[in-house]
Amino acid sequence: MSENDPNRTDDPNNRLGRISKNAAFLMMMALMLLFAIQVVGRQENPVAELTYTEFTNHLSSDRVSEVTFRDRAVEGEFRQPVRRDDREFVRFQTMLPGELTDGLLQEMQSRGVVVDAEPPQRGVGTFLLTALPWLLFIAFWIWIFRTMQGGGNRAFQFGRSKAKMISPDTPKVTFADVAGADEAKEELQEIIEFLKDPAKFSRLGGRLPKGVLLVGPPGTGKTLLARAVAGEAGRPFFQMSGSDFVEMFVGVGASRVRDLFEQGKAHAPCIIFVDEIDAVGRHRGAGLGGGHDEREQTLNALLVEMDGFESNEGVILLAATNRPDVLDPALLRPGRFDRQVVVDAPDVKGREGILRVHAKKLPLADDVELSLIARGTPGMSGADLANICNEAALLAARRDGNKVTMADFEQAKDKVMLGTERKSLVLNEYERKLTAYHEAGHAVLGLKVPGLDPVHKVTIVPRGRALGITASLPEEDRHSYTKEWMEGQLAMLFGGRVAEEMIFGPRDITTGAGNDIERATSMARRMVMSFGMSEVIGLVAVADNEQEVFLGREIVQRRSVSEHTQRIVDEEVKRILDEAHERAHAVLDENKDLLESIAQALLERETLNRDDVEALARGEPLAPLPDLKDDEAPKLPQQPAPQPGKAPRGFGLAGGEGPLPDPAPGVVDGPDLDELI
């Protein structure tokens, strides 16, 4: 009989439940008995309903012994039982036709009738109000009775763990359903072998790991790996979220931790999975509240249960987080989490495997090549790739197709990477021309600066918050970046602004390059302060040692850089940006014809792929566009072009994408729609 069996006789909660059920049953029986006695008592003393005339006749015949007045209602008793309708009555009741008169009262007193008066009887509403406490009391005991009867004493389980045990009937996820994380699968496979055959490792002195922490960015498959472990282990598997421990009442989290490990020990050997453990495992001493808050009590209980005075042999804690930097060091030490398994973004081989796993459910056309899609999606996580497969299926269904084609995958990839096309946003001719030259400037720099990634797509169709996008994709996965690549990337970021200066003049530049400048400044500052790519600063990390206040380490930040050094850093950052701007200007001066041809092609076609851009770079003409019917031709609004020297109204929207992550994807946004001038 398991520990969670509600029929166990040694469980104190069950004993309390049985006592409460017996008390509720006895209380209900007592109330029913009292009600029955009242009903029977009324039947043993029947009351005769008299008219006022009959009442006065009985009074004149001296048959009335006593009366009680309740307003106009009269109740009384006869001196001797009166036979009526084959029944004998001792009590009677009647109604006065009007107010009580002095003559009637004097007559009753002269005949020796005992006269009494009481307040009028209360109505049904008053009766219900009086009986409401009893009704609530009865309803409470009925609720207790039902709670004890079903749900395993739910009323007394507030401090019990909310962990759910995976049943054998649950659809299983196996390691065959997981791709792109081979090293993590090997680590977890060893844990499963530990559970299945402990003697294989214990004979050489090895012991079962107490904890395994899955660390990785969001969407890389940490929870999917845990589900695969549950499907492969063949042992009891408990799952719980870190947020399930903490409640508004103090002590509940620690109680649930203890109860969780008690369930684990009862089913040992077993696995306990805690998702998003950073909800309870954050660094202690956070904030200014001291060490007595609920979250820290929960963490202390977790530390003791994992490796305290009493050992929990056979219980493996599997946890997942994407914020290992905020976890308490005591939680990460060996003996608690013996292993930290990194689940990183997949490489090209892993991406192809992930695409094949998700594409099993899709009817693919013959032209689909998943290897090409994998090579064109660097840096994407498993969740992103699953989203691409889903979007491709939706696009195929939208066009009433029977199979998912390569064109659907390409369109889905662009939608996920670049954003959804905003075809409803119509630009006037001046805005289209300005955006076309801006994106053409980025494209020319991407083609002519050595070491940069190939230009994948250039478009002036608004996507997401940007009016235009130039995207570059690497031909292979890149894990580190050279100084040459970063300097070339800076020049490419300034290509849009330089193109505006060359075509429209320095006074007609717009705020469309705001996002490019912001990203270029962030990259140049990291080059100087973190990467040691400045000869003036040298190999010195001068970045501020910024720490989060919630970690509780330091609330007052100490300045680690002098004002003189900070001034030199600012000068170096400006020098690098100025050199990138001059380099972009020199490249576009040498390739004015290519800039013009790409801009005109964008105005004509709106979107250019890699083949189109490379053909223009070779000086080859593009294939003519198919003829469009009159109703299919794009209709541009007839708006007057702005006067020279004035930015168009509705344009000049600064970039709000923020600095590039490290490493940076090769997407250069055009004018942004995030904020107004």
d(CA 373, CA 390): 14
Specify if 438 maps to a domain: yes
One domain, residues 109 and 54:
yes
The reported pTM is 0.65
One domain, residues 267 and 362:
no
Which domain-ending residue is among 418, 439, 468? 418
Specify if 523 maps to a domain: yes
The pLDDT value recorded for residue 440 is 92
Question: For residue 449, what are the contacts with CB-CB under 8 A and spacing of at least 6?
Answer: 488, 491, 492, 583, 587
The pLDDT value recorded for residue 671 is 46
Question: What is the total count of domains within the chain?
Answer: 5
Q: What is the helix (H) or strand (E) element at residue 166, kind and residue range?
A: none
Q: What is the CATH number of the domain that holds 185?
A: 3.40.50.300
From the number of C-beta atoms within 10 Å of its C-beta (0-12, 13-18, 19+), residue 565 rates as middle
One domain, residues 381 and 270:
no
Specify if 36 maps to a domain: yes
One domain, residues 240 and 376:
no
Tokens standing for residue 185: 């699968």
Tens-place pLDDT, residues 52-96 = 888 888 888 888 888 888 878 888 888 888 887 777 778 888 888
Specify if 6 maps to a domain: no
One domain, residues 464 and 574:
yes
Q: Is the peptide bond before 626 cis (omega within 30 degrees of 0)?
A: no
One domain, residues 110 and 130:
no
Tokens standing for residue 332: 């990460």
Tokens standing for residue 447: 């083609």
The b-or-e profile of 155-169 (16+ CB within 10 A means b, else e) is ebeeebbebeebeee
d(CA 90, CA 408): 96
Nearest to 269 by CA among 203, 207, 185, 215: 207
d(CA 387, CA 365): 19
One domain, residues 356 and 468:
no
* Regions of the chain where pLDDT drops below 50: 1-13, 16, 148-156, 158, 288-291, 545-557, 628-665, 671-677
Q: What is the CATH number of the domain that holds 58?
A: 3.30.720.210
One domain, residues 257 and 315:
yes
Listed in order, strand segments (DSSP E) in 502-655 are 607-609
One domain, residues 481 and 545:
yes
Which domain-ending residue is among 342, 363, 393? 342
One domain, residues 172 and 244:
yes
* Number of residues that make up the chain: 677
d(CA 116, CA 305): 76
Domain that residue 151 falls in:
12-40+125-156
Tokens standing for residue 37: 């006695």
Specify if 383 maps to a domain: yes
Specify if 2 maps to a domain: no
One domain, residues 512 and 571:
yes
Specify if 291 maps to a domain: yes
DSSP character string of 370-427: HHHHHHT-TT--HHHHHHHHHHHHHHHHHTT-SSB-HHHHHHHHHHHHH--B-TT---
SS3 content of the chain, % helix, strand, coil (to 5): 45, 15, 40
Nearest to 465 by CA among 608, 655, 624, 606: 655
Specify if 599 maps to a domain: yes
- Residue 282 is given by DSSP the state B
Catalogue the active-site residues: 439
One domain, residues 474 and 333:
no
| Edge-to-edge strand ranges of the sheet holding 270-275 | 164-165, 237-241, 270-275, 315-321, 211-215, 339-342
